[in-house]
Amino acid sequence: MIKISPSVLTADFLELKHDIKKLEEAGVDMLHLDVMDGEFVPNISFGNPIIKSIKEHTNLPLDVHLMINKPHRYIDEFAKYADYLSFHYEAGSDNAATLKRIREHGVKSAIVIKPCTEPEKIFDLLPLCDMVLVMSVEPGFGGQKFMPAALSKLSVLREECKRQNLDILLEVDGGINAQTAPLAISAGATVLVAGNYIFSASDMAARVKEIKLL
């Protein structure tokens, strides 16, 4: 079953509580929350106070994506509210220790790779992951165009997970819509992050249903 994790990055934050209720009714599986520090990526978004508030108003699992430098410094704080906690392979120092630290909190651990990073770089980390996130755009801004190179990375990771006999979610983030979602699913994606495509729609529930029926 394909999971949908709408990214709130492109949402109207004054309407977020209302929109989350709509997404719950539409049957989304989790919420994707992008945390940006203005250093690892050229944008600043929000931090733990916003995530805490969201947690208090929804039962949906929170899929927290750290786009920050030296993420190990903040694992203990973000693990308080995250259900899935991901960080970038490119931003960490001891990635294995960070993944283990996430799991010590009882949170699902995930590693993220940017478009410039080959999937083979994280093969040794897969046993420590509950999910892997493949970026299909450059991280930092919503509304970008899907990069087809992500498809081969998803396929490679799918085969490596099979080889290692690992049951890991494969998530893809960036440019997901009715045209790119089937391509990502065919390549091995099991979690789709869709932001602008869902939040820009006049009927968000219809957009969610559209993707789920692909």
- Determine whether 29 is an active site residue: no
| Measured distance CA(195)–CA(96) in Å, rounded | 29
- Determine whether 34 is an active site residue: yes
Note the helical H segments in 27-175.
48-55, 75-78, 95-104, 149-163
Specify the DSSP class assigned to residue 127.
Answer: G
- What token pair was written down for 204? 């968000």
Phi-psi sector, 70: left (phi>0), alpha (psi -120 to 50), beta: left
Which residues, 6+ apart, have CB-to-CB distance to 53 below 8 Å?
none
Given the residues 34, 37, 63, 130, the one annotated as active site? 34
Please answer whether residues 35 and 78 qualify as being in contact, where contact means their C-beta atoms are separated by less than 8 angstroms. Answer: yes
State the catalytic residues: 34, 173
